[in-house]
């Protein structure tokens, strides 16, 4: 079964994302973080209590000034007002400082979990994904975590508490009519905000999609920089990028226009509420029911309410956006693994290194079978060469041995143990590979060689470099082993990259070695030099050599010829030539090509 995210439309931006997200507010087994959450909540309540006292101090100042109270009393009320303001700010900032660790730890835990899960997915998943889009999904989802935790705990809940407290104050001081009007306007505001924001969510999702596409195209184009240059396709790539960015620009304009309409509508509703409440209080003052301080009290309370209410619209939009961003990251987590360890899988135990393919069938996609019953054995410590036309399934053998895919039927065994029944980590630890296309990390030569075995010492790295005959080249570099290789190793030549790949495989020191057309992309002189190095690496190891140039595998203990997904011929080099079959035909063609090439060089 392929890796595939859920396709349930209800999953998009639904409450399911919030349900999965809320446990991060209360991290399991983290006593310190839970204590921080509790103290932060207490500070929220203290902050709201002090800010609700501010309007009463303000009312007291106005009323005492109107009645000609003593100067000291008014000054005391002013100090109380200033103290309440400061206490609210102090509580909010202490709350933020305490809670920051909770948010950051949650972001770290989830992003780390996603990163590990993405690495656990199959090769098929990664071949079908754009790297730029994938990293953007993880980046946006991670950034949303801390924001969502903060908003849910410190904006929505406190706003509800404040609204309830203000309604109680209004009921006691001004009667139920003002409470009903306040609740009606708040409900209208929330309803309008949700309706417009839900509409905008579709626009935002569309903007994210075209943004991912633009990023993906840019990264893809830059990763293939040399190919673009080879074909003089800079303008073509620029046009493709312009198309993607143009689509993003149009989506961004629509999104911003919709935001303007949302802000206009919110402002109209809140100002209607302000005008109505203030007008009612002024009317009451004209009738002698309310004091000038009551007018100030209502004004201050409404201003207190408007601030989080205005924030509520932004918070709701942010939460909706956060849900959109996080749902994409949760989709990555929900993507099932195509290749998993069998229940109760044991580590692979390699004693001799014998490899056997037993009637292996495999297809990358339905109706296109690549291997059609391949069977062969590689005795311990011997070499098997696999040759055949392009598309015959040679490189597929290496992918199956690493369990990047599982066979449709049949079995692959190492020392009699079916690899489908052992742990993937133990299987891959016992196999080394020198691939056709060596891709290096954008780090130092030492790092790339040491990648073969975690914790390897500098002496061991230097020994592996010597074994791969690249130590002399490294010594000639100004920075030696600390020389940077560039993105994907582009600062090194093909031969140098191949030697780094050989060195890290030697450092790994696996009992089973796979050489997947390791020299096919090199010139003849470099190939001959590296071939000698590879022969040393093959010594005392069970080796499978996947080759295109037959001259490189003539000394193999055994050769099999794949054709149309089957083993067409099998034997030694001399025996296969004597059969005068497919292998002999391939050999003769390549020899003729080499003779023509030699003649052309001599003519020059």
Contact 335, 4 (CB under 8 A): yes
Q: What is the mean pLDDT of residues 528-544?
A: 79
Report the percentage of the chain scoring pLDDT > 90.
12
492-507 mean pLDDT: 84
DSSP 343: T
Mean pLDDT (the chain, rounded): 81
The packing angle between helices 131-151 and 176-223, to 10°, is 160
Q: Measure the CA–CA gap between 470 and 501, rounded to whole angstroms.
A: 10
CA dihedral 583, 586, 588, 594 (to 10 degrees): -140
Would the pTM of this model clear 0.85, i.e. be above it? no
Nearest-CA neighbor of 362 among 563, 514, 546, 566?
Answer: 566
Q: Give mean pLDDT, residues 257-283.
A: 84
Write the pLDDT tens digit of every residue in 325-365: 788 788 877 777 778 888 988 999 998 899 999 999 998 87
Q: What is the mean pLDDT of residues 422-447?
A: 87
Nearest to 468 by CA among 415, 432, 414, 429: 432
Strands 368-378 and 355-365: antiparallel
Report all structural domains of the chain as residue ranges with CATH numbers, in order of start. Answer: 9-334 (1.20.1560.10), 346-430+510-604 (3.40.50.300), 439-509 (3.40.50.300)
Q: Alpha-carbon dihedral of residues 500, 504, 506, 507, nearest 10 degrees? A: 140
The whole-angstrom separation of Cα 114 and Cα 93 is: 31
How far apart (Å, rounded) are the C-alpha atoms in residues 214 and 211? 5
Residue 72: half-sphere exposure toward Cβ, Cα within 13 Å: 0
Say if residues 516 and 552 touch (Cβ distance below 8 Å). no
């Amino acid at each position: 079964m392929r890796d595939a995210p859920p396709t349930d439309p209800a999953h998009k931006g639904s409450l399911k994302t919030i349900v999965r997200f809320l446990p991060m507010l209360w991290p399991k087994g983290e006593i310190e973080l839970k204590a921080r959450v509790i103290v932060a909540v207490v500070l929220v309540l203290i902050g709201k209590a002090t800010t609700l006292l501010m309007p009463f101090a303000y009312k007291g100042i106005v009323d005492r000034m109107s009645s000609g109270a003593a100067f000291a009393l008014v000054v005391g009320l002013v100090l109380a007002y200033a103290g309440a303001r400061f206490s609210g700010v102090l509580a909010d900032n202490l709350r933020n400082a305490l809670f920051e660790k909770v948010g950051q730890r949650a972001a770290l835990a989830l992003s780390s979990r996603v990163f590990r899960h993405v690495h656990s997915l199959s090769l098929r998943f990664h071949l079908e994904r754009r790297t730029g889009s994938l990293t953007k999904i993880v980046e946006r989802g991670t950034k949303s975590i801390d924001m969502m935790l903060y908003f849910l705990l410190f904006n929505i809940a406190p706003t509800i508490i404040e609204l309830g407290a203000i309604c109680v104050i209004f009921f006691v001081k001004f009667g139920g009519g003002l409470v009903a009007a306040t609740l009606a306007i708040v409900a209208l505001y929330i309803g309008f905000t949700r309706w417009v924001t839900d509409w905008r969510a579709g626009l935002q999702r569309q903007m994210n999609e075209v943004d991912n596409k633009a990023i993906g195209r840019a990264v893809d184009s830059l990763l293939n920089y040399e190919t673009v240059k080879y074909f003089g396709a800079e303008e073509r790539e620029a046009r493709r990028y312009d198309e993607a960015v143009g689509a993003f620009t149009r989506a961004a304009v629509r999104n911003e226009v919709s935001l303007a309409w949302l802000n206009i509508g919110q402002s109209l509703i809140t100002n209607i509420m302000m005008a109505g409440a203030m007008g009612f209080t002024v009317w009451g003052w004209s009738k002698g029911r309310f004091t000038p301080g009551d007018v100030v009290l209502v004004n201050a309370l409404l201003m207190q309410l408007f601030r989080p209410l205005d924030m509520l619209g932004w918070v709701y939009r942010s939460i909706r956006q956060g849900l959109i961003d996080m749902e994409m990251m949760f989709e990555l987590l929900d993507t099932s693994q195509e290749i998993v360890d069998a229940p109760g899988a044991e580590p692979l135990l390699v004693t001799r290194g014998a490899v056997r393919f037993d009637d292996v069938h495999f297809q990358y996609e339905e109706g296109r079978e690549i291997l059609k019953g391949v069977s062969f054995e590689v005795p311990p410590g011997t070499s098997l060469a696999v040759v055949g036309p392009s598309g015959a399934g040679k490189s597929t053998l290496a992918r199956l041995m690493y369990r990047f895919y599982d066979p449709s039927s049949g079995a692959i065994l190492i020392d009699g143990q079916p690899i489908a029944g052992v742990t993937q980590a133990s299987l891959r630890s016992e196999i080394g590979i020198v691939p056709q296309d060596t891709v290096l990390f954008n780090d130092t030569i030492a790092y790339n060689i040491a990648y073969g075995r975690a914790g390897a010492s500098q002496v061991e790295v230097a020994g592996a470099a010597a074994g791969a005959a690249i130590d002399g080249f490294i010594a000639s570099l100004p920075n030696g082993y600390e020389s940077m290789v560039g993105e994907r190793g582009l600062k090194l030549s093909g031969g140098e990259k191949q030697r780094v790949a050989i060195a890290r495989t030697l450092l790994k020191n696996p009992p089973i070695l796979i050489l997947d057309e390791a020299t096919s992309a090199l010139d003849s002189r470099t190939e001959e030099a590296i071939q000698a190095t590879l022969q040393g690496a093959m010594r005392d190891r069970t080796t499978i050599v996947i080759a295109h140039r037959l001259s490189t595998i003539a000394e193999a203990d055994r050769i099999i010829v794949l054709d149309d997904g089957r083993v067409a011929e099998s034997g030694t080099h001399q025996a296969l030539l004597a059969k005068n079959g497919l292998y002999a035909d391939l050999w003769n063609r390549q020899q003729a090509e080499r003779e023509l090439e030699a003649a052309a060089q001599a003519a020059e």
